[in-house]
Structure 1
Amino acid sequence: MNSPDADGLLAEQLLRLTRRLHRSQQRQLQSADIAITPAQSRLLRTVAHYDHPPRMADLAARLEVVPRAVTSLVDGLEASGRVRRAPDPANRRVVRIELTDAGRDTLRQLRTARRAAAEDILAPLTAEQREVLGGLLNALVDGGPERRC
């Protein structure tokens, strides 16, 4: 059985690693001259996962935020030309969010930055160690308390 101190240390290490990964990704994005917040990045990735342009309410539910937060994020992404609001053809009162070509390009650049950051962070590990780490992380992500509900 792990001691609370050991679990606390693991939690701290995970947080430090996450911060390091985030900083490395931000450096990659800055060198590519891409100005986007982590929340905007998450919203873009979420929009891209839908088969059809989602409603603002769909995005708020998926991101687990209040609708006003999505409105603010969409405002910023729309101002930068990465998304556009479009009326729903079946219901004019509903607004859907569509990725633009600039948004798709930004997503490609985000993926590239994330891969480069991961390569930087994982460089000290062998291929076998990376595989073990991937399995452990999958067990944590897939087996967390939120997933059991």
Structure 2
Amino acid sequence: MTHEDERPIAANAQDRVTWALRRAEWAVQARKDQRLRPLGIAAAQYTLLMSVHGDPGLTGAELARRLNVTPQAVASQVARLEERGQLERRPHPRHRHVQELHLTGAGLDSLRDADAMIVEIEQRIAGKLGPKKAAQLRTLLDEVADVVREA
């Protein structure tokens, strides 16, 4: 198959802010996976557990929207975490076909252990940047998120 479209890719494509954000995200995710692996938790599972901890009673569909993944991806992770006794489904008080997600005691323990590993990554980043730059970065990233949501 040939591509006859002659439109060039911008010379600075890999210097864009969005590309820099993606490279940083890949690096952080890779480090999270590396640090969490000995605990038997993937970075995606940590994110899911953290989300349920922060907002107990989320449904799988709500969690999928929040994490920007497919409902099937959430269902697969939920099933794994449920098999391990870290997450449980409870009936929704008003909708009989909807199930809410809640951490179990084991899930909270796992989340605490995982979060200790993530704190080390955070501290390394903040230590390299220093307090002022780390605060600026958080502010800038919040602004980026706001701009993208408004678009």
Please state which band the TM-score falls in when normalised by the shorter chain. Answer: 0.7 to 0.9
Note the 1:31-50 alignment, pairs <5 A. Answer: 33-50=38-55
Q: Displacement, 1:78? A: 0.5
Are residues 1:118 and 2:132 paired?
A: no
2:150 alignment partner in structure 1: 148
Q: 1:28 aligns to what?
A: 35
% identity of equivalent residues: 30
Q: CA deviation at 1:137?
A: 2.0
45 and 126 in structure 1: CA distance in 2 versus 1, 3 angstrom threshold: closer
Determine the C-alpha separation between the residues in 1 that align with 2:126 and 2:13.
22
The one-letter code matched in structure 1 to 2:150 is R
Q: How many residues are paired up? A: 141
Aligned to 2:140: 136
Q: Does 1:9 align with 2:15?
A: yes
Describe how 1:85-96 pairs up with structure 2 within 5 A: 85-96=89-100
Partner of 1:105: 109
Q: Which has the higher contact order (CA 8 A, sep 6+)?
A: 1
- Report the CA distance shift for 1:96/1:27 in structure 2 as closer, same or farther (over 3 A): same
What TM-score results when the alignment is normalised by the length of structure 2? 0.74
Q: 1:93 to 1:132 in 2, by over 3 A?
A: closer
- Distance in 1 between the 2:128 and 2:61 partners? 42
Question: In the superposition, relative to structure 1, how do residues 148 and 36 fare at CA in structure 2: closer, same or farther (>3 Å)?
Answer: same
Instruction: Find 1:84's aligned residue among 85, 88, 112.
Output: 88
Alpha-carbon deviations, 1:29-88, whole Å to 9, x = none? 23xx311223322222222232x4223333233334443332211111111111012233
Query: Scaled by the length of structure 1, what TM-score is found?
Result: 0.74
Consecutive unaligned residues of structure 2, counting only runs of 5 or more, are: 1-9
